[in-house]
Amino acid sequence: MVMARHWYSSSPVVDGLPLLDEPGFWPAYLADLAVGFPPDAFGSDAGDAGAMLDALQDPSAWPVFTVQLTGGFAIVAHVNNGEEFTTTDYFLTHPDWSRDLVLAGDDQDRIGPGLCWPELAAQLEAPPGAAGVTDPHARLLLLLPVLGDAAAPEEAVTAVVEALVAQGAPAASHALAGRLLQGHPMWGAEEWWFDEDEQCWLCEGEHSPRKTPLGDHLPPHQRAALEACLTPR
């Protein structure tokens, strides 16, 4: 079951930001999406990737990664190193909210996808003064597990290749990029459409939390701010 974010307050949470610069991080972090691709497809050594996988799954240190968006919003990824399994929960947060929104979670409940390509593409540039993960390439790769868009355009492949190369992968990374854009194996790539009445993207994926408008329980001004963040005009 996806953990409510406040439950992590009693867990051994650590800032995951320093891990992004460690060798082997990306093949370890994206291992579930990159099945069939060895660490050297990312430009990494197998030993480094194995050591990083151990670090990500360390029960004494649960990494958290924060991707700040415009308007005070953020997407927060919490690694949950439980007694039996390691899972990751992705939350959309705002300081004015009483509870966070779950975008994805890869435990047995398999919640996802939580973002379509237009939404993710709009979040690659960090807002001025942002903390956490600010590099556009790292932001893209970090949020790929939340993505699942069957209509992702060719520009998405190009963007993922550029991100991989910027993080040390070989220039010929199109096959790996294509695999990463097929979505998390728990939910895959789904069909999305833009609802003009609700002014938001919706998804009919069996496990997606986006069947209904995101944040439809929010007060109108908060809902409008969320739409402006995820679907900028």
95 token code pair: 């300081």
Render pLDDT for 20-32 as a digit per residue (tens, 0 to 9): 999 999 999 999 9
Count CB neighbours of 182 within 10 A. 15
- Smallest CA-to-CA distance from 71 within 201, 233, 224, 200 is with 224
User: Could you read off the pLDDT of 40-51 as tens digits, one per residue?
Assistant: 999 999 999 999
pLDDT of residue 50: 97
Give the pLDDT confidence score for residue 108 in this predicted structure.
Answer: 86
Ordered by start, the domain boundaries in the chain are 5-230
Q: What's the pLDDT score for residue 1?
A: 58
The pLDDT of residue 186: 95
Is residue 111 a contact partner of residue 209, using CB atoms and an 8 Å limit? Answer: yes
Output the pLDDT for position 139.
98
Tokens standing for residue 107: 């435990």
d(CA 155, CA 146): 18
Largest CA distance in the chain: 51
Cβ contact 90:114 at 8 Å: yes
Residue 212: φ, ψ to 5°: -115, 160
Residue 146 CA to residue 154 CA, distance in Å, equals 19
Q: Is the dihedral of CA 178, 183, 188, 193 positive or negative?
A: negative
pLDDT less than 50: residues of the chain: none
- pTM reported for the whole predicted model: 0.95
Token digits of residue 161: 């290749």
| pLDDT value of position 3 | 66
**Per-residue model confidence (pLDDT) at position 6:** 73
Identity at 110, one-letter amino acid code: R
**Token reading at 66:** 């924060």
